[in-house]
Amino acid sequence: MRIHIHHLAAPLVLGLTLPALAQTTTPAATPPGAPATIVMPETIVTATRIPTPAERVPAAVTVITRQDIEERGYQTLSEALATVPGLRLVQAGGIGQQASAFIRGGASRHVVVLLDGVPVNDPSEPNGAFNFGNELLGDIERIEVVRGPGSSLYGSGAISGVINLITRRAPANTPIQAFGEVAGGTQGTARGTLGLAGTMPGWDYMVAGQGLTTQGTDATPRRFTRDTRETEDFRAAAGSARFGWNPAAGTRVEGLLRWRENHVDLDNVPNDDPNYTGNDRRWFGQLRGETALLDGIWTTGVRVALTEDRRRYLNLPDARSSATTDDLFRGERQVFDWGNRIRLGDVGPFAQSALAFGVTHEREAVDQASGSPSFRTTTNATSRSTALHAGLQGQVGGRLDFSAGLRQDLADDYDGFLSWRTGAVLAVPEVNSRLILAAGTAFKAPSLYQRFGRIGTTFQGNPDLRPENSFSWEVGTETDIALFGREDGGTFGATYFDTQYRNLINFNRSFTSLENIERAMSRGVELGLTLRPAPWLDGRVAWTATETRDEATGAPLARRPKNVVAVSARVSPTDRLTIAPEVLFTGPSPETAAYSNSGAFIGGVTYNKAGTVANLTGSYRVMEGITAFAEGRNLTNSRYEPANGFGTYGRSLLVGARFVF
């Protein structure tokens, strides 16, 4: 049996507490001469914060490894997530521009993004949503996507899913290793990464720098009659440094510092704008450590983390518009976490039982001013919250695994929330299958803007807002099928999910404040088929069918298409050559804000046309430690619009080489 993951069938590690730091070190890069591979841990930490064999976890999980990132030519986080089952990625513009993720029909603000287990959603974003268009992947080891309610682990915002970005780590038993890549291509695009990593007795390190620049993407649809075909530039840079110390067996202390800054040209819809620019910068740092007590029965750890976000958007008057924009957003988050895991062993009828518990404290601060002088939007506020969480898991009869989690969030300035999640996995080895059943609640706290924001004298946030909340359940199965002369020649998976949303926040009738007045639902099915006809060939088809509805109006929720199909393959006829095609089909998508070909605004519910985007990446190992590659994006030059008024940018080609010595 195989855990339900994307691309590679490998275990993963995920958790907000400290998941066995000394056991989860993975290579920063592959050995010289070998294809890109990742040695993954034997256990995972998902719904219970407890290291658990992959096949015993009751969750729908997708893992995008370093190998996937390289073989499929993913430059940014938005590119990497585009084919994840159950996730619809909408990018409003070219590389680096605003991108939103809708998981299982939930809103983009209902997704929590973690960096090495720490939330990094920008508090100054009015709804608390994450911009998936910003992140580069040169220092990312793997990306883990958990679909379904996650508030019992991660608190506010984890209604529809959690995405964890895990940075590169030092290779074992290697004092120094250099890794990197250099590439260039069409649209004036250039990309580079350079890093060093190594392991010494008792300590290890990793430092990396990366950059990406492009000068020719244009996402303004050609159908607009006033399109000037102006291109938008994008420049991004990032640096990270990690140092670890192992003073004794079972004890580890680790620090990480990461900086990322982007500069991007923006457009107003439906017109190009020659001098509208944005700057987005984030500083992230954390220090964490853990130790094993009582011969490893009890593991305890602490974490301190700080994230600072700064975004500025500037637009000066020009021949096309006399308007002036100077928007500034500053957000800060501090996280203090104490986590514990206790191995209980066999207790009565329960085997391999374990308990996790801990306390998490967060502080958020926002200082924001945007809009015209006569219609200025401002927010200047701080909030604090403390959460108590616990989880329990075990096994009954050698084939039924169960888990349960509970978290109480307590806040200074809004009602707290008690969230829970429970699930079970039944192994049926007689038919090479496993059955999964899970359910839980989740919530999204009102943002600081929603509670305390102002727009001139016409709008005032509502400090009495309640958290948005949901109840979700899912049932699924996964079966290995004997094909092509092997027991796992094929793997079929199916998951049905259902979510009810309550107390959703929207404007009141007079548009002078906000209220908890909306209700919605989403349900659907995720189907996946993986075929392995030969050792050098495997392919996957993933089809997600989703139905969403605003329960007050009956209308479908915007930007949630009913059908999304992703087809991918990995062809490696020799140990040197790998070819990775990828095709994404998106069905018609409802919109509540659209534009005609003349640029006139269209109100009400309309539908974007369906579209297909095809990518192809090829890699060839030239010699030990050096691999050449070519990445072709949007090969058919599709003009599909993920969001109305923003088209997929045109066909591109990038060629380069990566190395590890």
User: What 8-state DSSP symbol labels residue 375?
Assistant: G
Phi, psi (degrees; rounded to nearest 5) at 533: -70, -20
Question: Is the pTM value of this prediction over 0.75?
Answer: yes
* Overall size of the chain counted in residues: 661
Percent of the chain with pLDDT over 70: 92
Non-local CB neighbours of 430 within 8 Å, separated by 6+ positions: none
pLDDT band at 51 (very low <50, low <70, confident <90, very high): low
The pLDDT of residue 152 is above 90: yes
The fold of the 21-660 domain, in CATH, is Maltoporin; Chain A (2.40.170)
pLDDT, one tens digit per residue, over 622-648 is 999 999 999 999 999 999 999 998 888
pLDDT band at 49 (very low <50, low <70, confident <90, very high): low
C-alpha angle 364/365/369, rounded to 5°? 140
Q: What is the C-alpha separation between 647 and 644, in angstroms, rounded?
A: 8
* Tokens, residue 41: 């841990």
Q: Give residue 194's pLDDT.
A: 98
Percent of the chain with pLDDT over 90: 76
Q: What is the mean pLDDT of residues 424-434?
A: 94
| Beta strand ranges found along 201-323 (DSSP E) | 203-217, 232-248, 251-265, 276-293, 298-315
Q: What is the C-alpha separation between 363 and 359, in angstroms, rounded?
A: 14
Q: What is the C-alpha separation between 626 and 629, in angstroms, rounded?
A: 10
Phi, psi (degrees; rounded to nearest 5) at 161: 175, 170
* Tokens, residue 577: 């050559």
Question: Judging by beta carbons within 10 Å of its beta carbon (0-12, 13-18, 19+), is residue 607 exposed, middle or buried?
Answer: middle
The pLDDT of residue 252 is above 60: yes
Q: Give residue 18's pLDDT.
A: 39
pLDDT, one tens digit per residue, over 587-605 is 999 999 899 998 898 988 8
Three-class secondary structure of residue 445 per DSSP: coil
Q: What is the C-alpha separation between 80 and 442, in angstroms, rounded?
A: 26
Q: Give residue 190's pLDDT.
A: 96
Whole-number Cα distances in Å, 417 to 154, 385, 470: 12, 11, 11
Nearest to 93, CA basis, from 265, 229, 313: 265
The pLDDT of residue 45 is above 90: no
Q: What is the C-alpha separation between 455 and 120, in angstroms, rounded?
A: 26
Whole-number Cα distances in Å, 659 to 175, 217, 238, 532, 629: 17, 28, 19, 29, 11
The pLDDT of residue 231 is above 80: yes
Three-class secondary structure of residue 65 per DSSP: strand
Phi, psi (degrees; rounded to nearest 5) at 288: -145, 155
Peptide bond into 270 cis (omega under 30): yes
pLDDT band at 651 (very low <50, low <70, confident <90, very high): very high
Q: Give residue 3's pLDDT.
A: 39
The pLDDT of residue 232 is above 50: yes
C-alpha angle 130/132/134, rounded to 5°? 105
Quote the radius of gyration of the chain (alpha carbons, Å). 24
The residues pairing with 433 across neighbouring beta strands, listed in sequence order, are 428, 479
Number of neighbours of residue 42 by Cβ within 10 angstroms = 10
Nearest to 156, CA basis, from 367, 519, 341, 415: 415
* Tokens, residue 519: 């209700």
pLDDT band at 272 (very low <50, low <70, confident <90, very high): confident
Average confidence score pLDDT of the chain: 89
The pLDDT of residue 508 is above 70: yes
300, 277 Cβ separation under 8 angstroms: no
The pLDDT of residue 4 is above 50: no
Q: What is the C-alpha separation between 61 and 6, in angstroms, rounded?
A: 8
> The tokens 């990406």 sit on which residue?
212
Q: Give residue 276's pLDDT.
A: 87
The pLDDT of residue 29 is above 50: no
The pLDDT of residue 268 is above 60: yes
* Tokens, residue 325: 């924009």
